[in-house]
Amino acid sequence: MTETKRLVYLGNDEEFTDKLTELATEYIDQKWDLFSGEYSQGSLTSILADNGANIVYIDLDFVDSLENLFDEIVYIKRISQYKAILFTAILSSSEDTEKLMQIYSTGFQLSYIKGPGATDFIVDSLYIGLDEKVPMPRYAKATRINIDLRLGICSSLTTITNQGFGIDSDIERTEKVLEVDLPIFEDLEGNVFKIDTHRELSHFYPMTENYQLEYPFADAWEDVTNKTLQPETVETWLDIYSKNLISPPIIFKVFTEDSSLYHDIYMVSAENKIQVEICESIDEDLLSEEFQLKLPPLVFFDIDEEGNNTTEALSRIIGHIKLIEGYTPIVLVSSCPSKTEAFRKVFDYQTMICTPDKITKESFKLFTKSYMEKNSGPQANYYRVKHTDPLRAVDVLHDVYVQSLTEHELCFASPLNIPFFSTLHLTLPIDCFVTVIPSYYDLGSSKKGKHYLGLISGISEEERMLLRKFVNQIIFNPLEDFSYEEVKARFDRIEETSEEELKEQEAVAEEEIKKVENETFKRPEIRGKSKL
C-alpha cells in the first residue's frame, strides 16, 4: 500500500495554503494530505507522532518563541526516522540576515520570503522533500562566471570557553585549521583557527561534524596583532557577555524505537530544560565519540530483542561507557527480563537499574524529575550559546569555483565533500542562501573539484529582481577578468543601467530561456553524504 505523503503547514496564510494545495495536486503523484495548524511548543513532535510529515512549512510570523521552535527542531532532526523531513521557513522579510543564518543552521533547508515567488519555493520543496517529478523553474543562466568566490557553510557556535570555542558544521576538513567568521572579537581580523579536536558527529545541532577550535593567542613574548588575541581579552569578553550565555545542558540519551513516546519525552525535556537525544539504533563507529563528547549522566535503554535495542547492543554501549575514565552514568534498563542484580553481574556494571516495565511517559518523567531535584547541572566547564543568540549562527568560510548562476540556482565546484541538502551562505552578488541538491542535469566536471548545484532562497522579490538583472547583464556582457572585484563592481552598477539597456538584456535572456527544454525532473538517487 502506497503511503500517504504529508505536508504540514503551521501558520495562518490561506493564500499560501491555496497555492500549496494547487501545486501539490498538480505534481504529487501519490496520495497526499495537508495538515494546517499553528505552532506552539510541542506541536511539531505531536504532529509527527500522530501522522508524520514529509515537508513542514512554518510561517515564522506566527511563532511566538523562536528559541522554543529551534529547540524542538533540533530535537526532531536528531531522530533518525525524522531526519528526512524537510523543514522550510516562511518569513516576511529578508532584512534580518542573522535570523536567516540561525534558521539555516538549525535544521531548515529552504526559506521563502513572502511575495510572488511562492511557486518556485513550493516546487523546490517538492523536489527536495518529496522526490516528486516537478518542472524546475527555467531562468536565464549566466554560464561564464568562472570565479573563485568565498562563501560560508552555515554552521552553529555551540560552546565557548576561555581557551576556544566549538562549532557544529556540515563541512569536513582535512587541514588542521578552519576559517570561521567569528563575530566575537572586533579587533581580531583573522578568521583562521587551529582545530583542537574534530569529530564526525555534532554536539547539539543537526549537522555532521563538530570542531573544537583554539583562539589564536599571541605567544608570551610576542606583541598582539590583528590576527592574535591575549587571554585577558577573552576573559574580559566572557565576563561581560556571560550573562547572555547559558550553562551546558544536561544531556540524557534514550535508546528506544517507540516513536509514540517522542512527543512526551520532548515535553519532559522542555519542562526540565534538559537535552534528550533519542537513539533508535546504535552507530558503532560514533558511539564512543558520542559518549565522550556528551557524557550523559542518564542513559535509558528500552530492551527490544526484535529491534535494534538488544541485550548485545546494551553490552556494547556499556563497553564504551566503561572505557571513559571517571564516567559512570546511571543506566536505566526498561523492558528488562532479568533482575537488576543479574544484569549488573552480566555487564559487570553496578550503576544500573532494571525494570520489567516498558519505558513510559510517566516513568521517564519520574526519573527525570528525581534526577533534576538532586542535580543542579553538570560542572560548567564551558558556556553554551542560546539558539537565538546573534552570535550563534556562523559561517565556516570556504572558497568555491562558481561556474553558472540564475536567479534560482548556482552551479559551483569544490574539492570538499559537501553533503547534499547542507546550506551555504553567499554574500556576492547578493546576500542569499544556497541549498545543495542532487542535480537534475549533468553538471560536467572540472579540475576545480566536484560540481554542485544549489537552489537559492532567503531573498525577497526585490533582491531576486536585482539578481535577475545581474544575470541578464552577465549574459549580455560576459565577465572579462573573472574576479571577485569585477563581479562586485558589475553588481554595484546595476542600478545605473538604463531602461533601454535593461530591456535589451532581458530580450537576450529570454532567448536563452527558450533554449532550455520544458521538462519535469525527479530528484536523482542520492550518492554521497546527505542531510535528509
* List of residues contacting other proteins (CB under 8 A): 297, 305, 311-312, 315, 330, 332, 337-343, 345-346, 351, 353-356, 366-367, 370-371, 374-375
Residues 6+ apart with CB under 8 A from 498: none
Cα 478 to its chain centre, rounded Å, is 35
Torsion on CA atoms 18, 20, 22, 24, rounded to nearest 10: -150
Residues 6+ apart with CB under 8 A from 14: none
Task: Tell me how far apart the alpha carbons of residues 188 and 186 are, in angstroms, rounded to a whole number.
Answer: 6
Shortest Å, Cβ 157 to other proteins: 31
Return the number of the residue (40 or 355) whose C-beta is nearest other proteins: 355
Return the number of the residue (353 or 428) whose C-beta is nearest other proteins: 353
Shortest Å, Cβ 293 to other proteins: 21
Cα 95 to its chain centre, rounded Å, is 21
Return the number of the residue (336 or 432) whose C-beta is nearest other proteins: 336
Look at residues 384, 422, 511, 28 and name the one whose alpha carbon lies nearest to residue 207: 422
Shortest Å, Cβ 338 to other proteins: 4
Shortest Å, Cβ 319 to other proteins: 12
Return the number of the residue (147 or 299) whose C-beta is nearest other proteins: 299
**How is 106-166 classified by DSSP, letter by letter?**
TTEEEEEESSTTHHHHHHHHIIIII---B-------B----EEEEEEEEEEEEEE-SSEEE
Shortest Å, Cβ 336 to other proteins: 9
Number of residues in the chain: 532
Return the number of the residue (340 or 530) whose C-beta is nearest other proteins: 340
Return the number of the residue (343 or 491) whose C-beta is nearest other proteins: 343
Q: What cell does 202 get?
A: 555534532
Pairing assessment for the beta strands 409-414 and 192-199 based on DSSP bridges = unpaired
Shortest Å, Cβ 371 to other proteins: 6
Shortest Å, Cβ 300 to other proteins: 12
Cα 465 to its chain centre, rounded Å, is 28
Look at residues 316, 295, 312, 292 and name the one whose alpha carbon lies nearest to residue 303: 312
Task: Tell me how far apart the alpha carbons of residues 423 and 105 are, in angstroms, rounded to a whole number.
Answer: 8
Shortest Å, Cβ 402 to other proteins: 55
Return the number of the residue (80 or 375) whose C-beta is nearest other proteins: 375
Return the number of the residue (163 or 355) whose C-beta is nearest other proteins: 355
Peptide bond into 429 cis (omega under 30): yes
